[in-house]
Chain A
Amino acid sequence: EAQVTQNPRYLITVTGKKLTVTCSQNMNHEYMSWYRQDPGLGLRQIYYSMNVEVTDKGDVPEGYKVSRKEKRNFPLILESPSPNQTSLYFCASKRGGNSPLHFGNGTRLTVT
């Protein structure tokens, strides 16, 4: 089944404790992206990757890192999480051009 898989689904952590949210897709998509969703703000892009070893900042990249060592994986790293990073995070992938995004099931992160 074609899908984008994120883990974990839920994560509660404390300020400053490094964490990684994993994302994997099995559709051989070149493009992958991370979004955060906050009430009233919709989905805001954090980082995206056009291909292996090619990543760039989205609209809200501060406090996040990503890597794209393999085509299927695109982990999101929070080196020192802060409470304002409490949010619902989505990983997504797509083929090139204006093709639609396929989203993962989301990761709800709480930073206390």
Chain B
Amino acid sequence: GQQVMQIPQYQHVQEGEDFTTYCNSSTTLSNIQWYKQRPGGHPVFLIQLVKSGEVKKQKRLTFQFGEAKKNSSLHITATQTTDVGTYFCAEATNDYKLSFGAGTTVTVRA
């Protein structure tokens, strides 16, 4: 079953505002991958975090791995309509298993 829990399940954001989505686990995570799925599309890899406290940025997206490696977050600044979609975090528990969270579905009010 799912080892990572994502909150919130839904995020409604005013265009231009910031928001954060979280990925939590009760156990220590080996690493975290983040994917984005546009409406009607397929998941597309965004980034992977491996090290404790790691922070990576992709333009307006900031990804963080917790110090204890039990949580991760995705922060989006100045939300745009292109940010619409579902964001999944996933843990690669080993070479053959990637366990996905339920996702955060983001809608944007223009």
A contacts, CB < 8 Å to B:
31, 33, 35, 40-45, 48, 50, 56, 58-59, 90, 96-98, 100-106
Of the listed residues A35, A43, A56, A105, the one surrounded by the most CB atoms of chain B closer than 10 A to its CB is A43
Query: CB-CB < 8 A to B44: which residues of A?
Result: 103
Query: CB-CB < 8 A to A56: which residues of B?
Result: 96
Residue of A nearest to B94 (CB): A98
Q: A31-B95, A105-B42 provided; 8 other pairs, C-beta below 8 A?
A: A33-B98, A35-B100, A40-B9, A41-B102, A59-B99, A98-B92, A98-B95, A105-B41
Query: CB-CB < 8 A to A40: which residues of B?
Result: 9, 102
Of the listed residues B6, B9, B31, B99, the one surrounded by the most CB atoms of chain A closer than 10 A to its CB is B99
5 A–B contacts from the bound complex (CB under 8 Å) = A40-B9, A42-B101, A42-B102, A44-B100, A100-B45
**Is B79 located at the chain interface by the 8 A CB criterion?**
no
B95 → chain A closest CB, angstroms: 6
Query: CB-CB < 8 A to A31: which residues of B?
Result: 95-96
Would you call A100 and B42 a contact (CB within 8 A)?
no
Would you call A101 and B42 a contact (CB within 8 A)?
no
Would you call A96 and B95 a contact (CB within 8 A)?
yes
Query: CB-CB < 8 A to B88: which residues of A?
Result: 42-43
Question: What does the 1/0 interface line of B43-78 toward A look like (CB < 8 Å)?
Answer: 111001010000000000000000000000000000
